[in-house]
């Protein structure tokens, strides 16, 4: 099944008509997630909390809007939040899983983090012109060497 989905994903991406927000949303596996670009990552993961229109939501607490949020002026800040998490938001840093848990952490490459930051900063009414690169994100890791992805 997962293989079938992977093929379907590849085909859709190839024909250029993949719309993660369509009624037939792709469900990624830990392996196929590596193929996702910034737009796809936003719709597969980020919008769960920040909402499909990036306007956030409020209940007993709030998920911040990513549309029109002045904090987006700093792509480094955004990348840091995605890398290391903030409050209840988990970290998406590519790191060896150390803690024993019944679920695996979802992890994004530096390139994917840069891509999703750049996507958000140029959509939802955001019009920032300077972008962030994978190398910029790589430089933000605590260790100086690029982290190696965990074995599967």
Residue 27 contacts another protein per CB under 8 A: yes
- Minimum gap (Å) between residue 3 Cβ and another protein: 6
How many angstroms separate the CA atoms of 35 and 37, rounded?
Answer: 7
Residue ranges in 110-139 that form contacts with another protein under rule CB under 8 A: none
Nearer to another protein (CB atom), residue 17 or residue 27: 27
- Among positions 15, 88, 129, 151, the unique one binding another protein when judged by CB under 8 A: 88
Cβ contact 141:91 at 8 Å: no
* Closest alpha carbon to 108 in 139, 77, 138: 138
Nearer to another protein (CB atom), residue 18 or residue 45: 45
Residue 140 contacts another protein per CB under 8 A: no
Q: At what angle do helices 110-121 and 75-84 cross, to 10 degrees?
A: 130
Each residue 29-58 as x (binds another protein by CB under 8 A) or -, in order, gives xx--x---------xxxxxxx-xx----xx
Beta bridge partners of 58: 62
Residue 152 contacts another protein per CB under 8 A: no
- Among positions 15, 16, 17, 59, the unique one binding another protein when judged by CB under 8 A: 59
Q: Give the total of residues touching another protein (CB under 8 A).
A: 41
Q: Could you give the 3-state DSSP secondary structure of residue 6? A: helix
> 3-class secondary structure for 31-88?
CHHHHCCHHHHHHHHHHHHHCCCCCCEECCCEECCCCCCHHHHCHHHHHHHHHHCECC
Residue 142 contacts another protein per CB under 8 A: no
Binding site for another protein (CB under 8 A): 1-4, 23, 25, 27-30, 33, 43-49, 51-52, 57-63, 85, 87-91, 98-99, 101-106
């Amino acid at each position: 099944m997962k293989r079938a989905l992977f093929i379907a994903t590849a085909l859709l991406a190839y024909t250029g008509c993949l719309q993660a927000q369509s009624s037939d949303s792709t469900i990624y596996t830990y392996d196929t997630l590596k193929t996702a670009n910034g737009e796809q990552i936003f719709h597969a993961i980020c919008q769960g909390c920040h909402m499909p229109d990036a306007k956030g939501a409020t209940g007993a607490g709030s998920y911040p809007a990513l549309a029109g949020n002045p904090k987006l002026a700093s792509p480094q800040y955004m990348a840091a939040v995605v890398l290391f998490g903030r409050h209840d938001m988990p970290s998406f840093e590519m790191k060896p899983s150390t803690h024993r848990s019944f679920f695996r952490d979802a992890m994004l490459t530096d390139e994917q983090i840069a891509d999703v930051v750049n996507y958000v900063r140029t959509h939802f009414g955001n019009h920032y012109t300077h972008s962030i690169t994978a190398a910029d994100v790589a430089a933000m890791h605590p260790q100086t060497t690029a982290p190696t992805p965990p074995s599967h």
